[in-house]
Structure 1
Amino acid sequence: MHNNGQLEKLVLKGGKEIPLKALYAKIPFEQNINVEDLGLELTEHGFIKTDAMQKTNIPGVFACGDNVTMMRSVANAVFQGNFTGAIVNKELCDEEF
């Protein structure tokens, strides 16, 4: 139960009430893309598997942010996106045309 959005207690089916100040839930993670169609390899937790340079099992395909790690935060996603962008830039600069 809540009072103006503030949790006060958890009421179980049998009527037992448990007072609380916070409630945490593990929400299942689901990819927002069809990784099977793309052929991307996943970790045991369902994240896109990458190496230390954010490369996937498909040459030329990189992944970063919430798709690849359980550390889901804006700061981590910004870091990984910036890092991955630098790696992609290096790969493109190293290509021979």
Structure 2
Amino acid sequence: METEISELKHQNGLVESLIFSDRKEIEFEAVYGAFPFKQHSEIPQILGCELTEMGHIKTDFMQKTNIPGVFVCGDNSSMMRSVANAVYTGNIAGAIVNMEMVTDSF
């Protein structure tokens, strides 16, 4: 479906139905969607970090951003919103930061 959603009806946070811009209403027991993410801080943009189309901070597989020395992890860099993913990406970022510091020449 590509019709714009105009309203989400719910009862105490439990979705009951969606109302579309064409006024069609469909009842649901569960709805899954990919919604744009809004960063809760302007720091990534101030630093110049590139964002994905959905609003997450863009990283490579080592959690590096496009800005040298800036690493990110967790919900701000992934659509996978879970504690397990935050721990995983934080572990990767920490390991890579450590490696870069060990191999850096001062």
TM range (shorter): 0.7 to 0.9
Give 1:74's match in structure 2, choosing from 73, 79, 83. Answer: 83
Q: Tell me, what secondary structure is at the counterpart of 1:82?
A: helix
Alignment match, 2:98 = 89
Alignment match, 1:33 = 41
TM-score relative to the length of structure 2: 0.67
Flag as ranges the 4+ runs of structure 1 deviating above 3 A. 5-10, 18-28
Question: Whose strand fraction is larger, Structure 1's or Structure 2's?
Answer: 2
Residues of 2 paired with 1:56 and 1:62: CA distance? Answer: 6
TM-score relative to the length of structure 1: 0.73
Q: Which runs of 5+ in 1 are unaligned?
A: 13-17
Instruction: Answer whether contact 2:36 2:55 (CA < 8 A) is retained.
Output: no
Identity %: 56
1:39-97 deviations in whole A, cap 9, x for unaligned? 11011111101111111111100011111110111101111101110110000000112
**Corresponding pairs, count:** 92
Q: CA RMSD in A?
A: 2.8
Q: Which runs of 5+ in 2 are unaligned?
A: 1-9, 20-25
Larger radius of gyration: 1
CA apart distance, 1:23? 5.8
